[in-house]
Amino acid sequence: MQIEQIILSLQPNQNSYMQVFNNFSAIKQVLISINEEGGKTGFVPTMGALHEGHLSLITKACLENDFVIVSIFINPTQFNNLEDFDAYPRIVGQDLEMLEKFDDRVLIFIPQVEDIYPNGIVSQHFDFGGIENQMEGKFRPGHFDGVGTVLTTFFSLLKPDNAYFGEKDFQQLQIVKKLVAIQNFEVNIIGCPILREPTGLAMSSRNKRLNDSQLQESKLIFKVLKQVKKDFGTKSAKEIMQDVQKAFKNNTELNLEYFEIADESTLKPLQIVEKNKKYRAFIAVFAGEVRLIDNIALN
């Protein structure tokens, strides 16, 4: 079957050609046809509550592939905190509306829990060479095992050629690259730049949970990161850390969880700046119950 025929064979929904697949066996048939025709597939995994950041990944994926699979699945095993899992925004109706602007080459996959966890909701354990123990790994035990588990299943089932991840979750992006190397998956992992609100706040599904005052104050996060970038190279890591702690100290809405300057590839905290190495500043902040993370490239 030609790719054009595959497109024609996809039955239109009422007003759009968007295709939603609710289980793996449904999408599998389409993937087999695409594969037979040598079509390239891109994959954008999401947990829903879509925002412009996700749409930018999907747009890039559409430019670089014949078909794009967008998954919406709130993966229970990557939440180390049950309240966070329960409070995670679930707005599939709105997500689908946002996806309507894409053409019929975008296939939406909303799997059942049984598709992803046929043997019960448990994580595999991974050794990612130590990067899983830094920052997010320290503060969210088990998180990266959960991410590794769900992506192992997605990559094995869907066999995409390219998969797209935002750099807001920079540590996750490095973990995924490691996962692909360890498991020998034939997928290119493509990191995409952080999209920000006009205030500078990094776009995130969790922003939907912020109240007005938290939203207002959250612009401090990027302001601080930009200052860190300016100071990097002139101030010591210790001085920068003290400045960051001071910036959040008297803020009534935001609580700093961690700030770290780390080597981009090992994610180990900076000791002394070495030539030819790339460094990034990473931050995690609580606004009430809502956890926000961000990062910035320093050199």
Q: Report the catalytic residues.
A: 54
Q: Site for ligand PAF (CB under 6 A): which residue of 41, 56, 65, 75?
A: 75
In the complex, the smallest distance separating the C-beta of residue 168 from ligand PAF, rounded to whole angstroms, is 8
Q: Which of residues 25-54 bind ligand PAF (CB under 6 A)?
A: 45-47
Question: Which residue in 1, 6, 94 sits closest to 54, CA to CA?
Answer: 94
| Residues that contact ligand PAF, how many (by CB under 6 A) | 9
Instruction: Return the exposure string of 108-140: e unless at least 16 CB atoms fall within 10 Å of the residue's CB, then b.
Output: bbbbeeebbbeeeeebeebebeebbebbbbeeb
In the complex, the smallest distance separating the C-beta of residue 146 from ligand PAF, rounded to whole angstroms, is 8
Query: Between 57 and 270, whose beta carbon lies closer to ligand PAF?
Result: 57
Query: Between 8 and 181, whose beta carbon lies closer to ligand PAF?
Result: 181
Report CA Rg, the chain: 20
In the complex, the smallest distance separating the C-beta of residue 57 from ligand PAF, rounded to whole angstroms, is 10
Binding mask 76-115 for ligand PAF (x = CB under 6 A): --x-------------------------------------
* C-alpha to C-alpha distance for 45 and 111, rounded to whole angstroms: 11
In the complex, the smallest distance separating the C-beta of residue 75 from ligand PAF, rounded to whole angstroms, is 4
C-alpha angle 94/24/132, rounded to 5°?
80
Question: Which residue in 293, 286, 217, 223 sits closest to 251, CA to CA?
Answer: 217
Burial of 202 (0-12, 13-18, 19+ CB in 10 A): buried
Q: Is the CB of residue 69 less than 8 Å from the CB of residue 158?
A: yes
Query: Between 150 and 240, whose beta carbon lies closer to ligand PAF?
Result: 150
If binding is defined by CB under 6 A, does position 202 make contact with ligand PAF? no
Instruction: Return the exposure string of 250-270: e unless at least 16 CB atoms fall within 10 Å of the residue's CB, then b.
Output: eeebbebbebbbbbeeebeeb
Query: Between 45 and 160, whose beta carbon lies closer to ligand PAF?
Result: 45
Q: Which of residues 140-169 bind ligand PAF (CB under 6 A)?
A: 147, 150, 169
* C-alpha to C-alpha distance for 289 and 87, rounded to whole angstroms: 10
Query: Between 57 and 224, whose beta carbon lies closer to ligand PAF?
Result: 57
- Which residues bind to ligand PAF, rule: CB under 6 A? 45-47, 75, 78, 147, 150, 169, 172
